[in-house]
Every structure is written in structure tokens, then in C-alpha cells.
């Protein structure tokens, strides 16, 4: 176990292939009225929703490293498959357009498959879009990959291919955040992040490599076993460390994440996320999204209520984006406005 400084981490990052997609650094902003409304800690928001391209979000930063692998391998089609309102599908389609590559999106006929939000934007970016019934999605992906190969294409699936490099982008993101905190003369007690996997693991690898004791608290957007997730995330973190040739030790304790704020399931709005969205919008003029950052803020709010964090603490909330999905969730945000009754 070795402790590194920021310039050493940056040196190792600089040896990897990288695209320039995001507008960096993203801002780090105080949210004083939100802190006051929650009666809790100083809250600083790291605006990864403002990565610039295509309405932003964390994948734009991640793709600088992961899709660089696709370019190296001379892939010519970017494929992505997830929910109809997937942010990553929108970001895949946008980055493909920017790189002059083809994009293929295999979504699904779920309850948010209307031509709105992310799905609308994926069309605008010129993606080839297929929305099979839910139970045929996996087979459709396989058949699509085969068809592309038969056509002589080299497809790159942005979910799985180059995935170990997505977290690498957040080793870099952590260095950026660290510099910003230094210049504000602030030491956080914890960083809250929506924990799919990669943003979380990248932040943790960087924090441990720099020898910082800050907690990185993940809130999961989907149902899962917290202990199992931590074990898988340790393995992912180890792969990041190997790519960067870092001698760091990451344990399951470093990768705490909580699935208890998901509610009924992935992509289903909860009372907590409705409340988080409204409080944040109405105190700071800041948008969260219903599936990821909203539930993460709901988790932070619950932890403040439980007394984990008080006025003596400082929390960084890393906003991973996702706000385009808001438009597809218009009538599920818990807003009591008669105007919404007229919408179908």
C-alpha cells in the first residue's frame, strides 16, 4: 500500500488513450439553502450533470476513457441496450455522432418508452433505435450484434466493452474535485454518489491512493444485495488500480452502498425521490433526476434525519446527471398542478 500525490495520479492517467468530450472542470457549488432546508451539513454539489455534451451527465466523462478504447480498436458502431429512458443510450448516440460513428440503441417497451426525454434525444442524434418487448431485449441485443458483424462492422457495446476504464475517468474526476476542495479550503466528511458502479469505484480508488480517509457513500439506483455489490465493486476497483499500476488496497468497507432507497425498483419514482427533487429544485433552482440523483439525494436526506450528518459536517454530493429523463416522468413527480391532468 503506497500513498500517491495528485500529480503522480495524473501522470499515470496521462499514459492512457483519452478522448476530449466533456467540458472540464465541472463546477463545485455550495447549496446553502438546501443545507438549511435539511437542517444539516454544508453541502457542496459537484456538477457532473454539467459535463457539457448532449445535456451532460457522468457517462460523458467516463466515455473519454472507455470509448477511447473503441477508437483504438477501430470499432465503427457504438451499441447500447438498457431502459427506454436510458441516459447512457442518449450519451452513446451523441458521442457516436461526434466521432462520426454509427449508433444502435436497443431499448425496450417499458412504461417510459414515449418519444420524450432521452429517447427523443437518441432519435435526434441519429441512432438506429429498436424497442423490443421487455422479454425479448436480451435476444435482440445478441441478434443485433451478430447482424452488425455479418455486415462487416466492428460494434462496441458501451455497457460492457471498455467498462474497466469508466471508473478510471473518476480517478481523474476525483483529482479535479480534490483541487477544487483545496482551493476552497474545505475537507469533506463524505462524498455521496449514485452508485451504479464505475463512478463510485473510481472515486474510491483515487481517495485511497491519495491516502484520504473521506467516506464515499453510494446509493444504488436498482435493487441489489449491498454486501454482494461491495464485493463486486472491490474487484472492479482492483482492475482500475491494475490499469493505473497503483499499489492500493480497497476493501468492501471502502465501497459502502445502500439499495434501501430504490423503492419498488429501478426507474420507479419513490416518495423520497419526489421530495428530494422538489426540495432541491425549490431551494436551489437545481434539477435532479427521478431514477438516480433523486434517489441519492433521498438517501442523503434520510441519513441526515438519522443523525449521521449535522451542521458540523461537510458533504460533497456528486450529481451524476440524468435530468433529460424528467420530461418522460412528468406525471410521476408528485406535482399537484391541474395543468398536468390534460396530458396523456
Ligand X SMILES: *Cc1c(COP(=O)(O)O)cnc(C)c1O
148 binds ligand X (CB under 6 A): no
Interface residue with ligand X among 66, 87, 158, 270 (CB under 6 A) is 87
197 binds ligand X (CB under 6 A): yes
The C-alpha atoms of residue 152 and residue 297 are separated, in whole angstroms, by: 45
57 binds ligand X (CB under 6 A): yes
- Which residues sit opposite 194 in a β-bridge? 219
Cα 183 from chain centre: 25
289 binds ligand X (CB under 6 A): yes
40 binds ligand X (CB under 6 A): no
CB of 275 to ligand X, least distance (A): 18
Q: How many residues bind ligand X (CB under 6 A)?
A: 19
CA distances from 133 to 33, 80, 116 (A): 44, 16, 18
The four Cα atoms 101, 124, 110, 76 give a dihedral, to 10 degrees, of 0
Could you give the 3-state DSSP secondary structure of residue 190?
strand
88 binds ligand X (CB under 6 A): yes
Number of helices followed by number of strands (H, E) in the chain = 11, 10
Mode of pairing for the β-strands spanning 190-194 and 215-219: parallel
CB of 49 to ligand X, least distance (A): 8
CB of 31 to ligand X, least distance (A): 18
Q: Closest Cα partner for 299 from 83, 60, 40, 117?
A: 40
CA distances from 95 to 54, 92, 148 (A): 8, 5, 19
198 binds ligand X (CB under 6 A): yes
46 binds ligand X (CB under 6 A): no
Residue with smaller CB distance to ligand X, 85 or 144: 85
Residue with smaller CB distance to ligand X, 165 or 309: 165
Q: Which stretch binds ligand X (CB under 6 A): 9-17, 99-107, 245-253, 315-323?
A: 315-323
Interface residue with ligand X among 67, 194, 219, 301 (CB under 6 A) is 194
Binding site for ligand X (CB under 6 A): 57-59, 62, 87-88, 166, 194, 196-200, 289, 292-293, 320-322
Amino acid at each position: 500500500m503506497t500513498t500517491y500525490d495528485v500529480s503522480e495520479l495524473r501522470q499515470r492517467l496521462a499514459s492512457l488513450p483519452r478522448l476530449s468530450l466533456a467540458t472540464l472542470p465541472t463546477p463545485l457549488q455550495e447549496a446553502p439553502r438546501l443545507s438549511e432546508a435539511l437542517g444539516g451539513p454544508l453541502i457542496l454539489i459537484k456538477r457532473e450533470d454539467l459535463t457539457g455534451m448532449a445535456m451532460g451527465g457522468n457517462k460523458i466523462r467516463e466515455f473519454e476513457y472507455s470509448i477511447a478504447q473503441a477508437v483504438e480498436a477501430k470499432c465503427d458502431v457504438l451499441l447500447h441496450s438498457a431502459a427506454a429512458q436510458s441516459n447512457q443510450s442518449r450519451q452513446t448516440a451523441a458521442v457516436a455522432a461526434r466521432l462520426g460513428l454509427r449508433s444502435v440503441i436497443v431499448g425496450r417497451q417499458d412504461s417510459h418508452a414515449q418519444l420524450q426525454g432521452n429517447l427523443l434525444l437518441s432519435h435526434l442524434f441519429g441512432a438506429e433505435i429498436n424497442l423490443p418487448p421487455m422479454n425479448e431485449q436480451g435476444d435482440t441485443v445478441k441478434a443485433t450484434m451478430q447482424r452488425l458483424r455479418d455486415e462487416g462492422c466492428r460494434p462496441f457495446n458501451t455497457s460492457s466493452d471498455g467498462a474497466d476504464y469508466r471508473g478510471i475517468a473518476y480517478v481523474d474526476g476525483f483529482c479535479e474535485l480534490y483541487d477544487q476542495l483545496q482551493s476552497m479550503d474545505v475537507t469533506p466528511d463524505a462524498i455521496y454518489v449514485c452508485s451504479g458502479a464505475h463512478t463510485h469505484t473510481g472515486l474510491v480508488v483515487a481517495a485511497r491512493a491519495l491516502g484520504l480517509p473521506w467516506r464515499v457513500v453510494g446509493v444504488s439506483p436498482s435493487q441489489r444485495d449491498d454486501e454482494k455489490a461491495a464485493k463486486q465493486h472491490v474487484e472492479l476497483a482492483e482492475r482500475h488500480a491494475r490499469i493505473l499500476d497503483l499499489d492500493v488496497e480497497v476493501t468492501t468497507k471502502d465501497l459502502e452502498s445502500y439499495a434501501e432507497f430504490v423503492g419498488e425498483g429501478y426507474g420507479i419514482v419513490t416518495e423520497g425521490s419526489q421530495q428530494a427533487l422538489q426540495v432541491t429544485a425549490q431551494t436551489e433552482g437545481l434539477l435532479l433526476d427521478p431514477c438516480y440523483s433523486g434517489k441519492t439525494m433521498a438517501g442523503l436526506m434520510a441519513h441526515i434525519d438519522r443523525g449521521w450528518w449535522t451542521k458540523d459536517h461537510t458533504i460533497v454530493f456528486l450529481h451524476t446527471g440524468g435530468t433529460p429523463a424528467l420530461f418522460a416522468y412528468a406525471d410521476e413527480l408528485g406535482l399537484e398542478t391541474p395543468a398536468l391532468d390534460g396530458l396523456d
